Amino acid sequence: MISIKSKREIELMRETSRLAASTLEYIEPFVKPGVTTEELNQLCHDYILKHGAYPSPLNYHGFPKSVCTSRNDVICHGIPNQKEVLQDGDILNIDVTTYLNKFHGDTNKTFLVGNVSDEVKKLVDVTYQCMREGINQVRPGAHIGDIGAIIQEIAHDQGYTVVEDYCGHGIGREFHEEPQVVHVGKRGTGPEIKPGMTFTIEPMINLGVKQSKVLKDGWTVLTRDGKWSAQFEHTILVTEDGHEILTLRKEENATF
């Protein structure tokens, strides 16, 4: 069952999504060599609570932290910890979801840590392009499969692979709702996109193979071959004539 949000629900989605976006804006100056992922987690946790919200990942099915921090070959769901220290040349995805006024807003960004190699910078840039072009497919009458089709096309053209084990999702009163937004696909397939739908687009793009593995902690997802992975995510509202990016950051105003 795909929920169609009312005008009031959409406004509440805007509020929580703006907070999620501002959390990423807030944390950016702290993402640098020598910082631990636990320190970043605590800063995000405090910021979200200060703004009257709750970090959705905390205790979600047992997840122990307030954000996900996925570094280098970690595809998603990395658990912040005090022993993980950022190094010059790393990439780090920080995934933030806020719960405000009974609605969730979900977004993430892959940060460059210090001096990152050109090979990895290109991966990050192409991943962002995949998300952006996926978002550009969103309009009433289109289909969820259109999103995955363009993402797959761009990634494969650059020699990358698309993670298929994890996907975007509907979002609202629940952290994860229908529909599933798979990042590979065929145009014209999947649920029809309709005004009032809210969902995430969050492609995970790998330098190597698409296959993944999960650590014994039950959460941390790594690439099967140890090559690096990047991801970006926004929460999207379907409007009467297109879409609205609810988690758009100020730095992106010229991008979309």
Q: How far apart are CA 251 and CA 253, in angstroms?
A: 6
What's the pTM? 0.98
- Strand ranges (DSSP E) for the chain? 54-55, 68-71, 74-76, 91-100, 103-112, 161-162, 168-170, 177-181, 198-201, 204-206, 212-214, 221-223, 229-231, 234-238, 243-245
pLDDT at position 255 is 77
pLDDT at position 256 is 76
pLDDT at position 212 is 98
pLDDT at position 60 is 98
**pLDDT, averaged in runs of 10, over the chain (256 residues):** 97 98 98 98 99 98 98 98 98 99 98 98 98 98 98 98 98 98 97 98 98 98 98 98 97 83
Q: Which residue has the tokens 């060599």?
A: 33
Domains of the chain: 7-252 (3.90.230.10)
pLDDT at position 254 is 74
